[in-house]
Amino acid sequence: MTFALRWTQAARTKYDALQAAARKARATREATGRRKSSRQEGLFRQVRKTLRFLADNPRHPGLQTHPYHSLQNPFDAKGKVFEACAQQHTPGAYRVFWCYGPGEGEITVLAITPHP
C-alpha cells in the first residue's frame, strides 16, 4: 500500500531548505567544473530517498523505523510517533519523524532534523 505524505509546516520548511542548499551547491559545482557531489547534494538525496521509502513501505528495513517517545502524535493522543533514519554512521545523522494519519492511507511528516 502506498501512503500519501502530508507535511507539517516545520518539516516542509526544512525539506525546502535542504533542497535549496542542494541546488545551490550543484550550481556552484557545475560552474567550477567539479564532478564529485557536495555534502548538501548527498544529504538531500538521502532525505528524499527516505521519504520515498516511507511512502512506499514504512516498514522498509533500510529505514530502521522505530517508535519515538519524546514527541506526541498531533492527531491521536494514544497514537505513536516514529523515527526513520535518513543517514547512519554519520555524526549528526538526519532523522525523519512521522506518524500515521490524520486520514486512512496518510503519513504526516512531523520533522526532519539531525540526530541530537
CATH number at residue 84: 3.30.2310.20
Q: What is the pLDDT of residue 77?
A: 87
Cβ count within 10 A of residue 51: 21
Instruction: Tell me whether residue 69 is exposed, middle or buried, using C-beta atoms within 10 angstroms of its C-beta: 0 to 12, 13 to 18, 19 or more.
Output: exposed
Pick the closest to residue 70 from 104, 24, 111 (CA basis).
111
The yes-or-no verdict on residue 2 having pLDDT over 80 is yes
Q: What is the pLDDT of residue 36?
A: 87
Query: Taking the CA atoms of the chain, what radius of gyration do you get in angstroms?
Result: 15
Number of domains in the chain: 1
Model-level pTM greater than 0.95? no
Q: What is the pLDDT of residue 8?
A: 95
- Tell me the residue range of the domain where 81 lies: 4-114
Query: What average pLDDT does range 23-42 have in this prediction?
Result: 90
Q: What is the pLDDT of residue 83?
A: 96
Residue 48, SS3? helix
The yes-or-no verdict on residue 114 having pLDDT over 90 is yes
Helix axes 9-32, 39-56, angle to 10 degrees: 140
